[in-house]
Amino acid sequence: MPVVDISTNAEDFQADPYSFYARLRAAGPVHLIAAPSPEYEPSWLVVGHEEARTALNHPDLSKDWRNSDWFLSALATPANANMLESDPPQHTRLRRLVAREFTARRVEALRPRVEQITHELLDAMAARPERTADLIEALAFPLPMTVICELLGVPDLDRERFRYWSSEVVAPTAPGPDNTPHRELGAYLGELVEAKAKSPGEDLLSALIRTRDEDGDSLSPDELIGMAFLLLIAGHETTVNLISNGVRALLAHPEQLADLRADYDGLLGGAVEEMLRYDGPVQNATFRYARVDVEIGGAAIPAGATVLVSLAAADRDPARFAEPDRFDIRRAAQGHLAFGHGLHFCIGAPLARMEGHIAVRALLERFPDLAENPDGPPIWLPGSLMRGVSRLPVRW
């Protein structure tokens, strides 16, 4: 199979990966793509929806990076002791322990506080005499950041330093497998877990420290660091892009925006699902590694190979969604893969959906003439993991 190199037109790809994925998908659901640097072997990219569902839940595709030759020079850190980078039975054990505390009731109890934070941020926006703002700085970043910090019980988190670490983890600017941000963030979270163990509260992190299952099993100190790492990063990075990508899509489709304004109660839920499908916050799932020879979509993937599942490509597959490049808030978008599928389906999806519903409705109600206020071409997040812009200038 020929190797496809997406780096040759990196800027065009970042601006519109969907056209590129459509051309690939027309030629087949699975392709071999060039690695980001010469020392690595090519990896397999899954772009078909049904094939993506298969890959996301395939028992022979490991999530543990130790099963890959890609990161031989990387060292394990406590931050890596998390659910996303583990397989059953360890994954099953970790997820069971966190699910005991990260419950639907705990998430729903956050609703009044999410509404309060949202309105406070919008008050600050409305007070700006210039009537312009970067929506990411004003709302899309501070809302989920504040919520996840308060949920975990870390309101005094050094947010600027954390934002740098988090950005480097999900959209690294340094080439190669530099895990310095992982180490530094892991050390910071280690101090946080230690302090929380000495002085627990009613927050989720304290609950995770206390939790025991029926057999007396509990999370180790490294596992607590890994859980805090995963919940903090996944708990805000994806929601930032859900809000900003969703608002961008609405502003670019004024007829859809008008329909939503006319019937929030009837259309908001479907609109958020369509935002997730149309331009979701995660472009490609994190790597998987073939334990044995695997066949997906007619492609023979050899043992040891690295597999990348494109959620963005899968959610624009015409075999699953009619007219997939059309943004339609009345579409039945259920079945999209924005939160993944199978064992590693995002445990924070209910919280992200709640924040998206509250933020989008409150923003549009507060600013009925909201519009983009471009001051240059969009600055896309680097890398192929996240999908979003680093700034979203708006006016009202």
Kindly state the helix (H) or strand (E) to which residue 323 belongs, with its residue range.
none
Q: Name residues of the chain where pLDDT drops below 50.
A: none
pLDDT at 157: 74
In this prediction, residue 345 carries a pLDDT of 95
Residues 66 and 42: their CA atoms lie apart, in Å, by: 18
Cα 280 to Cα 310: distance, rounded to the nearest angstrom: 11
| CA distance linking residue 210 with residue 218, whole number of Å | 8
Structure pTM?
A: 0.92
Give residue for tokens 């959620």.
311
The pLDDT value given to residue 182: 74
Residue 115: name the closest of 357, 348, 352 by CA.
Answer: 357
Of the options 1.10.3720.10, 3.30.70.100, 1.10.630.10, 3.40.50.10860, the CATH number for the domain spanning 3-395: 1.10.630.10
Token match 């022979």: residue?
60
Neighbours of 237 (CB within 10 A): 26
Say whether 45 sits in a helix, a strand or coil: strand
Residue 179: which residues within 8 A CB-CB, separation 6 or more? 74, 75, 77
118 within 8 A of 362, measured Cβ to Cβ: yes
Largest distance between two CA atoms of the chain: 61
- Each residue of 291-315: pLDDT tens digit? 999 999 999 999 999 999 999 999 9
Cα dist from 56 to 61, 173, 325, 327, 387, whole Å? 8, 27, 23, 25, 19
pLDDT digits (tens, 9 = 90+) for 254-278: 999 999 999 999 999 999 999 999 9
